[in-house]
Structure 1
Amino acid sequence: MSNASGHPFQAFCEVSVDSSCLFSPQNVGMLGGSLTGLITVVMIASTPSAIAPKARQYTDEVLLDLTWQSKLGNSDDSLLTSRVYTDFLNYNFDNPDPNTFGTRDEVNRRAIGVQVQHNWQVAKNQTLTYGADYRNTRSRNTTFSYTTNSTQVNYDGDISQGALFARYEVNFTPSFSVNLGVRQDFNSLVNGSFTSPATWIIYLTNNMSNFPVFLPWDAVFGWVLVPHFN
């Protein structure tokens, strides 16, 4: 698809929704909340080139991201966040010219993910965040040969990924805090799972000369100096 000048055609449509009227607030926090959503549609089509004058390339992708937040109880110390997101991709490259070993490549991909997270302020200076996420990606890639009039399946399968995570934050002073975290990941490509613990010390400093941004002790333990602009 191209315009009159022969340049690639691109269409981009973005719709953003932020509405709290979709849920009627109730005394029970889980029944009331706010929904935010983002829908993105991308379509790209190429024009012929001198090397492959009959070739055409087309891509369309649709992304949907919905997030729902709800307070648990009547206070602000407990917030539940639920997220659902999808990604649909169709890619087609068609070059029927037999002089260039004509082929048609197609990629169809579908990804769906969900995430649930709970932020709980257990004390005035302590916050506990925990949750789970899951994502499944299904993909199929084929190549059709105009020379042999046959289709080859390059890939046809799906991958599932999931995780459980938790983080505990303690603010000892307005400028000094400690974070303890752990994440357990699961993947359908490997047997079992793996654990990623982490500990971070965050210190707000007024001295810009002591601003290395990130100073790791090793892969999972570290400390951060952040400038305090006040």
Structure 2
Amino acid sequence: MRADSLFILTGAGISAESGLGTFRDRGGIWSRFDPMRLATPEAFAAEPVLVHEFYNLRRRNAREARPNPAHAALARLEAGLSQAGGRLFLCTQNVDDLHERAGSRAVVHMHGELAKARCLSCEAVHPWEDDLSVDTPCPACGRSGGMRPDVVWFGEMPHHLDAIDAALAAADRFVAIGTSGAVYPAAGYVAQARQRGIPTLALNLEAADNAGLFEATRLGPASVTVPAFVAALLDGR
């Protein structure tokens, strides 16, 4: 296998087969909840109890989910590339921890993590597995009422943008897996890759909104397409 610097972007589609709802699919998360009532700073300020209830449900759902073969394949790819002197930069739009639980060691969560909580009073971030409420005190400053999920809400800036831009600039290949191609800035990374002459590939269940920007697309369940892609790459095919 050639030593590559591979940039992989994952979205909700890679976790759908683990039982986590997606934003766009029929029966997905946002078909049952209004995101503008639940996933904005304004919503949290106006209805913190409702927002906490929603994210407590998502946190429990994520805890019950299990990594699927697509997550496991990317963990194998990270290890294989490292052994060959290459690098996998795994950037996810997902707020679950299924990549880590499958064995991936270096995951960049651009939209934050359900398993972390942030205090609006002191800005401290804490690992968090339990429910949150308006009465939850911050372990750092002791204040209640300001603990929120450390996830990126609509209207907020994604995390780690400098590191993501640097990794994309250094990449030899760009692959998007299970992404809708509708949420920016992530949906624009394929255009940046193309401008730099980096080969691009999409692995999706169905064509994404930005499918026309990719040089190649393979459609099918992530549990099938991702292990096949990883096997071919590790075998040097």
Query: TM-score over 0.5 for the alignment?
Result: no
Q: In proportion to residue count, which structure has more helix?
A: 2
TM-score with structure 2 setting the length: 0.17
Structure having greater relative contact order (Cα 8 Å, sep ≥ 6): 2
TM-score with structure 1 setting the length: 0.18
Q: In proportion to residue count, which structure has more strand?
A: 1
